[in-house]
Structure 1
Amino acid sequence: MADFLVPSTASPETDAQHRQRGPIHAQRHVRVVCIGAGASGLLMAYKLQRHFSNYSLSVYEKNAEVSGTWFENRYPGCACDVPAHNYTWSFEPKLDWSAVYASSKEIFAYFNDFARKYGLHKYVKTRHQVGGATWNKQKGGYDVQIKDLESGQTIHDHCDILINASGILNNWAWPAIPGIDKYKGVLLHTANWDEKIDLRGRHVGLIGNGSSGIQVLPTIQPHVQKVTTFIREPTWISPVQGLEQHVFSAQERTDFATKPGVLTSYRKDVERGLNGQFGIFLKDTTTNANTEAYFRQQMAEKLSNPYLEQRLIPSWHVGCRRLTPGVGYLEALGKPNVDVVYGEISEITERGCRSDDGTEHPVDVLICATGFNTSFKPRFPVVNKRGTNLQDVWAHEARSYFGIAAADFPNYLIFLGPNCPIGNGPVLSAIEAQADYMCKLIDRFQTHNVATFAPKQDAVDDFVAFKDAFMRRTVWQDPCRSWYKGRADGPITALWPGSTLHYIEAMMEVRHDDWDVAYAGNRFAWMGNGYSQTELDPSADWAFYIRDRDDDEPLSRGRKLRIINKSGTVQQAKAVNFTGSDGSEAVPKL
Structure 2
Amino acid sequence: MNHLAQLFGVSAAKTHEQPADSWVVEERSVDEARPLRVVVIGSGISGIIASIRFRQRIPNLDLCVYEKNADIGGTWLENRYPGCACDIPAHTYQATFEPNKEWSTFYATAPEIHKYWGRVRDKYGCARYIKFKQQVVEAVWKEDDSKWVLQIKDLESGSVYPDQCDVLISATGFLNEWKWPNIPGLHEFQGKLMHSARWDESFDYSDKRVAVVGNGSSGIQIVPGMLPKVTHMDHYVRSRTWIAPSFARSELERRGVKSDNFSFTPEELKTFNTDHNAYQQFRKEIELQLQSVHGATLLGTPEQLGAKEAFAENMRQRLSRKPELYEKLLPAFPPVCRRLTPGPGYLEALADDKVDIIASDIVRVDAEGIFTADGKHHPTDVLVCATGFDTTFTPRFPIIGCNGLSLAERWKKTPESYLSIAVDGFPNYFICFGPNSALGEGNLLLLLERVIDYFTSCVQKMQRDNIRCMSVRKDAVQRFTRHCDQYFSRTVYSEKCRSWYKGGEEGGRVIGVWPGSSLHSLQVLSHPRWEDFTYEYVNDNANGWMGDGWTENEKNHAINVSYLDDDQVDFPLAVFEQLKN
User: Taking structure 2 as the reference length, what is the TM-score of the superposition?
Assistant: 0.89
Q: Secondary structure at the match of 1:47?
A: helix
Q: Secondary structure at the match of 1:75?
A: coil
Structure 2 CA distance for partners of 1:72 and 1:534, relative to 1, 3 Å: same
- Report the residue type matching 1:255 in the other structure: T
Corresponding position of 2:450: 433
Deviates more, 1:210-219 or 1:544-553: 544-553
1:169 aligns with 2:175: yes
Deviates more, 1:68-77 or 1:49-58: 49-58
On the 8 A contact 1:424/1:495 being kept in 2, the answer is: no
Corresponding position of 2:15: none
Corresponding position of 2:47: 41
Q: Secondary structure at the match of 1:401?
A: coil
Structure 2 CA distance for partners of 1:126 and 1:19, relative to 1, 3 Å: farther
Q: Secondary structure at the match of 1:216?
A: helix
Corresponding position of 2:489: 472
Instruction: Write out per-residue CA displacement over residues 208-255 of structure 1, whole angstroms, 9 at most, x where no aligned residue.
Output: 111111111112111111111111110001324524752111111111
Structure 1 unaligned regions, length at least 5: 1-15, 556-590
Structure 2 CA distance for partners of 1:543 and 1:445, relative to 1, 3 Å: closer
Structure 2 CA distance for partners of 1:453 and 1:75, relative to 1, 3 Å: same
1:517 aligns with 2:535: yes
Deviates more, 1:156-165 or 1:279-288: 279-288
1:256 to 263, 272, 278: 272
- In angstroms, what is the RMSD of aligned CA positions? 2.1
How far apart in 2 are the matches of 1:239 and 1:547? 47
1:280 aligns with 2:277: no
Equivalence map 1:137-536=2 (5 Å): 137-240=143-246, 242-243=248-249, 246-304=262-320, 305-486=322-503, 487-520=505-538, 521-533=540-552, 535=554
On the 8 A contact 1:424/1:496 being kept in 2, the answer is: no
How far apart in 2 are the matches of 1:548 and 1:307? 68
Structure 2 unaligned regions, length at least 5: 1-21, 253-258, 576-581
- Report the residue type matching 1:64 in the other structure: A
Per the TM alignment, residue 503 of structure 1 is displaced from its structure 2 partner at its CA by 0.7
Equivalence map 1:82-161=2 (5 Å): 82-161=88-167
On the 8 A contact 2:247/2:289 being kept in 1, the answer is: no
Instruction: Write out per-residue CA displacement over residues 361-419 of structure 1, whole angstroms, 9 at most, x where no aligned residue.
Output: 01001000111112112111110130000011112321010011111110000001111
On the 8 A contact 1:233/1:343 being kept in 2, the answer is: no
Per the TM alignment, residue 181 of structure 1 is displaced from its structure 2 partner at its CA by 1.8
On the 8 A contact 1:78/1:103 being kept in 2, the answer is: yes
How far apart in 2 are the matches of 1:507 and 1:451? 23
Corresponding position of 1:541: 561
Q: Secondary structure at the match of 2:402?
A: coil
On the 8 A contact 2:208/2:232 being kept in 1, the answer is: yes
Corresponding position of 1:551: 571
Deviates more, 1:543-552 or 1:173-182: 543-552
Kindly tell me the number of residue pairs found equivalent between the two proteins.
Answer: 540
Corresponding position of 2:17: none
How far apart in 1 are the matches of 2:61 and 2:155? 27
How far apart in 1 are the matches of 2:360 and 2:337? 20
Deviates more, 1:409-418 or 1:296-305: 296-305
Q: Secondary structure at the match of 2:137?
A: strand
Per the TM alignment, residue 528 of structure 1 is displaced from its structure 2 partner at its CA by 0.6
How far apart in 1 are the matches of 2:44 and 2:514? 21
- Report the residue type matching 1:505 in the other structure: Q
How far apart in 1 are the matches of 2:408 and 2:476? 20
The percentage of counterpart residues that share the same residue type is 39
On the 8 A contact 1:32/1:161 being kept in 2, the answer is: yes
Corresponding position of 2:6: none
Q: Secondary structure at the match of 2:434?
A: coil
Corresponding position of 1:569: none
How far apart in 1 are the matches of 2:177 and 2:119? 25
On the 8 A contact 1:132/1:380 being kept in 2, the answer is: yes
- Report the residue type matching 2:346 in the other structure: Y
- Report the residue type matching 1:492 in the other structure: V
Per the TM alignment, residue 67 of structure 1 is displaced from its structure 2 partner at its CA by 0.8
Structure 2 CA distance for partners of 1:222 and 1:509, relative to 1, 3 Å: same
How far apart in 2 are the matches of 1:111 and 1:546? 38
